[in-house]
Structure 1
Amino acid sequence: MKSILLIFLSLFGFTIYAQTGVIKGKIIDKQSEKPISGAIITLIGDENSQSVSDANGNFKLSGIPLGRQSLNISFTGYENTSVSDLDVTTGKDNVLTVSMIEKFNALDEIVVTSGSNKAKPINKMAMVSTKQFSPEEVNRYAGGRSDVARLVSNFAGVSTGDDSRNDIVVRGNSPSGMLWRLEGIPVPNPNHFATLGTTGGPVSALNPNLLANSDFLTSAFPAEYGNAIAGVFDLGFRKGNPDDYEYMISVGAYPGLEFMAEGPLGNKGGSFVGAARYGFVGITGLAGTAAQPNYSDISFNVDFGKTKLGNFSLFGIYGTSDIDFLGADIDKDDPFATKDEDSYVTSGFASFGLKHNLEIGNNSYLKTIVGASNSKNTYQNFRYYDYGTPSENRLPFINTDNTENRITFSTLFNSKISKKVTFRAGLLFENYSLDANVTSRDRQQDNDGDGYPDFVKLINNDGNYNVFQPFAQGQFRLTEKLTLNAGIHGQYFSVNEEFAIEPRTALSYAVNSKNTISFGYGLHHQNVPAPILFLNEYVGGSQVQTNKNLDLVQSQHYVLGYDVRLAKKWRGKIELYYQDISKAGVESFPSTYSTLTEGADFGYSTDKTSLVSNGKGYNQGIEFTAEKFFSEGYYALFTTSLFESKYEGSDNVERNSPFNNGHVVNLLAGKEFKIGKTKKNVFSIDTKFTTAGGRYYTPVDLEASNDAGYEITDDANAFSKQYDSYLRLDVKFGIKFNSKKKKRFHQFYIDLQNVTNHTNVFQLEYNRLTNKIDQKDQIGFSPDFGYKFQF
């Protein structure tokens, strides 16, 4: 390693001298989001490096030493706050938005300071089960693949356990219970190779280099969030540099080749930022399959600046992907395909929005967003019947063609009535146009007598439906230490014409400057996923969608939390939770099936019709977090979750859900070493250790499968077996070079994933060619790599 380091230093010897960086941004009031003029911004450790925010809240600190830096922000009548872990480099300015909260009593000398700005969620109405994260963390942690979904799997209560996909399991819930939001509006599944009704995929299409600091919520959401029962990704795009043009070129095994540009736009304080990526993971051999995946995406955010009519911005994201699995080229251990099949997969999505922010008076604003999105996926599967024999016959086996278009309108009014009361109200309207078509021979009868299963239309939907969600909520600072958030959310689903009213509340009590107790409750609803909702069933010789009248699935969340500042830059947190779920879809006769078990794969069940809303389940557990924010050259994060996830089908027998891992443990740590003659370049080591209980699965009935010629599971013993525990260790090495004279910055990393080459089970499945049950494993040891050049 020492030799490699010396080679890097010799190749980039021009970088060994020091330059300085820039930190700039805006200071705003957290409750009203209005700019604060006159705030004092000080570089911690150098009181001479200071700036004062102007009339628009803007500030700028120049000549900042390279490396990790922190700021302190103070203003009369407001609680002091700080911003830590700013990575100052020569290649790019740090552009921030820092929120401050007004003191409860300006005359009171005993003030509970807000501490680190990152320790609090972006959304001021969120008090429990919320974690703010930064895009820098997405790129920093080992094993992350530049994927925001894999980042949050490090947080308490979250697990993935599947290296091939980034589906997010929150507190034992199905991934289908997730809500993705971008810039304040819901968006389709933002992953490559996504399919209808899913929320994850093999590769993320969200570019972390365009993201702003964002929130991830796991329970008892504030009233503005709806149509989700598991978790919420509330993401925002950052604004471009309003003063200087900046560029970036990077290459990485998973994100691929990327070009990004940003800079000022017009003379009204506007800016733009945009990036395009092209993936080539298949060339590196790290895709986990012999097939060649192709994917690319584009993201942008254009801020037109402040005008008399308000502030307008335009944002968007577009992604496309495809892969062909040809049986002749497939290895027998490939987890995604088999030798007697050819499959052709395409997927794509786009989401665009126009946002308007209008200031009303001194303490209020109206934010309105109009958005349009499209998601599409096709899957053509051909089966070789009588494979390897003279009578081999290639026939279409599954044909899927789904297109979903969505028009979204969102408006939100926010008013800071006083330093003690903030009110927020709004509504969200979504119009869906769904053209879904699924035709399959899987598990079908041979009614036409041609010797092969019939090719049956399982889903044939071409129609529109609406989701309407009004809400109102308020924050009440009852005392200096006691804060109440309370609100109500409504949800109307036009398919079954159901309207649900959902109360939400959260209470936070600061015992002192180091200890806080919180409680949250929320009632939440979500419609059954579209692939289940619009399934066809033959009734009286005609196809009927017998699941359309299923109720909205109902979930009640209860959370009790304790937050403690363990030491300077150290934070600890414990949360207890219980989630009661009812009105899930189950079969009308006694069976083990429930819609709560769906959503962790590329597709959904195709034979579950005439369902009724009598299913139920629960999730309960305890979570621990100990976090050392980046300072003194290192960080650490330890999270663990102990939980139980159960469900009942129509047979009223309590069973493990497939997401009942039981426990998840994450341990992450990283250290940076200053190198070079002036110690302005950086060598870093990051590591991550993860272990989790194995997933529960339903065993294969081998005898029945051999008789049928396809896999039949022992549903009487649904989810009674458990895979071995998941275990993985990742180690990442990186090096950063700051240019001597020019605004340039180089970064290299190599991420050694699953360095112990531990065997983690992917699945046990029936092999119809050998009439045996095969074990397919997840990816073993695999090296990721990347290079970034900013200028």
Structure 2
Amino acid sequence: MKRYIFSLVITILIVFTTSFESFGQTKASFGGYVRDAKTEEPLIGASVIIEGTQLGAVTNIDGYYEIKNIEPQSYTVTASYVGYQKSSRFNVTVRSGGIPNVNFELSQDIEKLEGVTVRANPFIKNEETPLSIQKLSPEEIATYPGGNNDIAKVAQSLPGVSGSVGGFRNDIIIRGGAPNENVYYLDGIEIPNINHFSTQGSAGGPVGLLNVSFFEGVTLSSSAFASQYDNVLSGVLQFDQRDGNRREFRNNFRLSSSEAAITTEGPLFKKEDEERSNTSFIASVRRSYLQLLFQAIDLPFLPDYWDYQYKLSHKIDDYNELIFTGVGSIDDLTINAPDDFSPEQQAVLDQIPVIKQWSTTSGLSWKRRFKDNSGFMTTALSTNILNNQFEQFQDNVNQEGLVFSNNSQEQEIKLRYNYTKFLEDWTINSGFIVQEAIYTNSTDFAGDRRGFSYENNFNFTRYGANAQASRNFLNDRLGLSAGFRFDGNTFTESGNEIYKTFSPRASISYTLDEKRKWTINASAGRYYKIPPYTILGFANENGEFLNRDAEYIQSDHLVAGIEYLVTPSSRFSIEGFYKRYDNYPVSVIDSVSLANLGGGFSVLGNEEIESVGLGRTYGMEFLYQRKLTKDFYAILAYTLYRSEFTGFDKDEYLRSTWDNQNLITFTGGYKFGNNWELSARVRYLGRTPLAPVDQEATLRAYPSIVRDYSRQGDLLLDPFNQTDIRIDKKWNFDNWTFNIFFEVQNAFVQDLPSEPSFGLRRDDMGDIIQPRELVRIEDVSNSSLLPNLGVVIDF
């Protein structure tokens, strides 16, 4: 059957290719803005050229340029302006169906050397975050192999980032930290999670909910966090959405083996005599039909989801802009009883939860740029809601014999203000955040070992303030930054003792040579995170909150590294990092640090805890990155690390669930002629330590699986090793582009690790044999090759 599907996909690909190849290519165009990187002032008369051609343009009074009559393919585009460093955008794929604006932000050239052209470093950094920062371009996001347009999977290609091993998961694990140690921002608006069927109290889930067609770039900071980011311990992921087209209406349609999505954008209130509108929109909706595939191959669960995303931008004048943006999802994980009995299918059927979930985030932000170009301010008002209905039954098919039920909703209303001021050579950032947290929960442990139920609700205020100062010295060769923030809340017992969350941070960057090839970087900082609402809202059968004495989780970072620019488009870097944790929540019932949890589908933190755990992650990271030059691009990274946490015994560090020790990632591609592209992703992750199943306790609590956390790390899964390959082909016609892609996940059919599975002993008809006995399910092969065929149409 698998061979038949694979052959069918190949045949379809060949038919499409040969059919469209006879059509001729057409010309294309693109444009964008060139601005000052610091003040965002438009640069009038800046030159923009397509390298290797005679094509180019000069910006107008608005800083806008447009280049026409271009042969559709991939180019390097360079912008230059007198007194500024040149900047290049690599891998700009021009297509007749239209492309998003190619924008540039140029930095002033402080060091003026006669006869020497200074080119900006193409790998993003700044004084506040001079290291541990990575960025992916829109084209790298769109053609990511094995990602299936899933932004969470795309982020896993970045150095030091891995996902959970085993199971239907999409977690983001950064340098050995837990999945819920990261924060996510959409154009400055914080979103609590980026996945469908997200684990409440954590952030992971099986499928990403953000549309890749929206993004101008994705930036990851894995340390040296700027002071405006609160509640982060391991990583900040910033998703920069592009503005909708202000000149004409454009659409994007995407169809793959698991979903269909439509994106539309264009100007609003545009008059006939106007070249562009001051108001634009971009919106999308996506529908899964993964549930149809799962039902066809007789899997015991059916994931069904919708998601939507939108952005409305309005330019009030040259100095003021309003942005209204949002994202949401509707998720329904239902049970599908297989036609034929098998022990492994029955075990999944017994243990899978029934999930109905929806989430929404929306925000309005106002950005005001000062008329004297001395700074700007941003004010954002946003709200986000997660509604989670999670149930598990003795009989999931008929939903009888309730074992565990959690029906809860968490909502946040946030006001965030940031102020940036340029004082001669100094950049000063300051701001504050005030947010109202609203939480309701109804939990029934009917068949669980805890055996009680409770209902509660609360609302409280969280607040925080920050400040940071940065400056470059010695003709921009030395960069220094220092800042602090503090946070508090009105719920926990020590929440208003803000001195306990005072978090200083500092960074330094120094360029060793005049050609700016060698740079050393270092940072140190202390960061805090409030425990999840699932922890704060846990109560006993009398409705009394048991975790009001919970402390903010503390993490101290020390990072140092060196970077070498091999060429203007490639770099090599080495970083060493050390993270120390304090006040980590430890489960009272299981005596395990919650740092080891969050990689499953249950609710994280709905239990009594004590803030006594310690932890540490440390290691080295080696990176080689090459932007698209001579038709080839690549990211190769190796992270050698350890991740350890304690329970109640602070002297006993145990290997955490994320302590894989070795992480190798490679993502690269080659662009052939005639708009063909071949790309690949290779991931290797060392052995995964887990706590073995306590079989006696599991038999009593079945279908709940109980682990023996006193033996955390005794069970080691085999290393994870997977290669994904993708082929893209584009055809350009008059005003529209047709792109077909074919990708193969696990191309070399490698056996992927999975946890040991347990179920009740049953007869050939699937009936439970009495007396009940827990048995290990015979391991099944996880070496499937997964083909995926899709089309993308821009028009």
Quick check: TM above 0.5? yes
What do residues 738-782 of structure 1 show as CA deviations (whole Å, max 9, x unaligned)?
11xx11100111111112332222322432345113357757321
Counterpart check, 1:349 vs 2:359:
yes
Letter in 1 for 2:611: S
| Residue 274 (structure 2) aligns with | none
| 1:384-399 superposed matches below 5 A | 384=395, 394-399=400-405
2:681 aligned partner, one-letter code: K
Question: How far did 1:104 drift?
Answer: 2.1
8 Å CA contact 1:93–1:241 kept in 2: the answer is no
Deviation per CA, 1:688-745, whole angstroms, max 9, x where unpaired? 2211112211112334544665644333212222111011111112211111xx1110
Q: What amino acid maps onto 2:406 in structure 1?
A: T
1:670 aligns with 2:672: no
What are the Cα deviations for residues 162-191 of structure 1, in whole angstroms up to 9, with x where unaligned? Answer: 362111111100001111111112112121
Distance apart, 1:362 and its partner CA: 2.3
Supply the AA of the counterpart residue of 1:550.
A
Correspondence 1:757 to 2:746: no
**Aligned partners of 2:624 and 2:205: how far apart in 1?**
29
* Structure 1 Cα separation of the partners of residues 549 and 380 of structure 2: 31
One-letter code aligned to 1:322: D
Q: Secondary structure at the match of 1:236?
A: strand
Q: How far apart in 2 are the matches of 1:107 and 1:599?
A: 54
Show structure 2 runs of 5+ residues with no match. Answer: 1-6, 271-276, 762-772
Cα distance, 1:133 vs. partner? 1.3
Aligned to 2:540: 537
Task: Report the count of equivalent residues.
Answer: 756
The one-letter code sitting in structure 2 at the alignment partner of 1:205 is L
> Structure 2: which amino acid aligns with 1:726?
F
Partners of 2:61 and 2:39 in 1: CA distance: 16
Residue in 2 that maps onto 1:575: 575
Match of 2:377 among 363, 366, 378: 366
1:644 paired to 2:645: no
Q: Conserved in 1, the CA contact under 8 Å of 2:758 and 2:774?
A: yes
State the shift of 1:9 in Å: 4.3
Aligned-pair CA distance for 1:427:
1.6
Note the aligned Cα RMSD (angstroms): 2.7
* Contact 2:439-2:533 within 8 A present in 1 as well: no
Does the residue aligned with 1:763 lie in a helix, a strand or coil?
Answer: coil
Equivalent position of 1:693 in the other structure = 686
Supply the distance in 2 between the matched residues of 1:264 and 1:98 (Cα, whole angstroms).
Answer: 22
Q: Whole-Å Cα distance in 2 between the matches of residues 588 and 340 of structure 1?
A: 27
| Aligned counterpart, 1:414 | 420
Q: 1:281 aligns with which of 282, 290, 298?
A: 290
The answer on 1:197 being equivalent to 2:201 is: yes
Q: Does residue 411 of structure 2 align to residue 405 of structure 1?
A: yes
Counterpart secondary structure, 1:137: helix
1:484 lines up with 2:490 in the alignment? no
For 1:702, give the aligned amino acid. Answer: Q
CA positional deviation for 1:604: 4.1
Whether the 8 Å contact between 2:594 and 2:605 is mirrored in structure 1 is no
2:170 maps to 166
Alpha-carbon spacing, 1:344–1:603, altered in 2? closer, same or farther (3 Å): closer
Name the residue aligned to 2:106. Answer: 100
What's the offset of the Cα at 1:373? 1.7
Q: 1:335 to 1:715 in 2, by over 3 A?
A: farther
Q: Is the 8 A contact 1:761 1:776 kept in 2?
A: no
CA gap 1:372/1:701 in 2 versus in 1, 3 angstroms: closer
Aligned AA for 1:373? N
Q: Distance in 1 between matches of 2:234 and 2:586?
A: 19
- Residue identity matched to 1:713: R
| Cα deviation code 1:207-228 (max 9, x no counterpart) | 0101221311111211111101
CA contact (8 A) 1:615 1:650 kept: yes
CA 1:576–1:112 in 2, change beyond 3 Å: closer, same or farther?
farther
Structure-to-structure mapping, 1:380-459, within 5 angstroms: 380-384=391-395, 394-418=400-424, 420-444=425-449, 454=451, 456-457=452-453
> What secondary structure is seen at the aligned counterpart in 1 of 2:152?
helix
Alignment of 1:122-521 (within 5 A): 125-162=128-165, 164-254=168-258, 256-267=259-270, 268-285=277-294, 289-307=299-317, 310-327=320-337, 332=342, 338-340=348-350, 343-363=353-373, 364-384=375-395, 394-418=400-424, 420-444=425-449, 454=451, 456-457=452-453, 460-480=455-475, 481-496=477-492, 497-498=495-496, 499=498, 500-512=501-513, 513-521=516-524
Structure 1 position 120 matched with structure 2 position 135: no
Distance 2:364 2:20 in 1: 44
Gaps of 5+ in 1: 446-453, 676-681
1:39/1:73 contact within 8 Å kept: yes
Residue type at the aligned position of 1:184:
G
1:620 is aligned to 618
Q: Identity over aligned residues, as a percent?
A: 21
Please tell me the residue identity of whatever aligns with 1:511: L
Q: Letter of the aligned partner of 2:181 in structure 1?
A: G
Q: Could you tell me how far apart the structure 2 residues matched to 1:520 and 1:80 are?
A: 28
Higher mean Cα deviation, 28-37 or 656-665?
A: 28-37
Separation in 2 of the partners of 1:352 and 1:626? Answer: 37
**1:524 matched residue in structure 2:** 527
Is 1:735 matched up with 2:729? yes
Aligned counterpart in structure 2 of residue 725 of structure 1, from 715, 719, 723: 719
- The structural deviation recorded for 1:336 is 10
Counterparts of 1:87 and 1:192, CA distance in 2: 30
Is the CA contact (8 Å cut-off) linking 2:394 and 2:402 kept in structure 1?
Answer: yes
Question: What amino acid does structure 2 have at the position aligned with 1:250?
Answer: R
Judge conservation of contact 1:245–1:261 (CA < 8 Å) in 2: yes
1:310/1:357 contact within 8 Å kept: yes
SS of 1:544 mapped into structure 2: coil
SS of the aligned residue for 2:141 comes to helix
Q: Distance in 2 between matches of 1:113 and 1:467?
A: 44
1:19 to 26, 29, 50: 26
Equivalent residue, structure 1, for 2:3? none
Separation of aligned partners in 2, 1:393 and 1:227 = 38
Q: Deviations over 1:341-388 (max 9, x none)?
A: 685311111111112111212222121111122111112322139x9x
Letter in 2 for 1:575: E
Aligned partners of 2:164 and 2:297: how far apart in 1? 17
**1:555 alignment partner in structure 2:** 555
Alignment of 1:587-606 (within 5 A): 592-604=591-603
After TM superposition, give the deviation of residue 195 of structure 1 in Å: 3.4
For 1:190-213, what per-residue CA distance to the aligned partner results, in whole angstroms no more than 9, with x for missing partners? 211123212111111100101221
Task: Give the CA deviation at 1:582.
Answer: 0.6
Partner amino acid for 1:44? E
Name the SS of the counterpart of 2:710 in structure 1. Answer: helix
Partner-residue secondary structure (3-state), 1:531: helix
Contact 1:258 1:278 survives alignment (8 Å)? yes
CA distance, structure 1, for counterparts of residue 58 and residue 193 of structure 2: 42
- The answer to whether the Cα contact below 8 Å between 2:393 and 2:399 also exists between their aligned partners in 1 is no
Contact 1:189-1:199 at 8 Å conserved across structures: yes
Provide closer, same or farther for how the CA distance between residues 337 and 473 of structure 1 changes in structure 2, counting only shifts above 3 A.
Answer: farther
288-297 or 298-307, larger mean C-alpha shift: 288-297
Query: What amino acid sits opposite 2:694 in the alignment?
Result: D
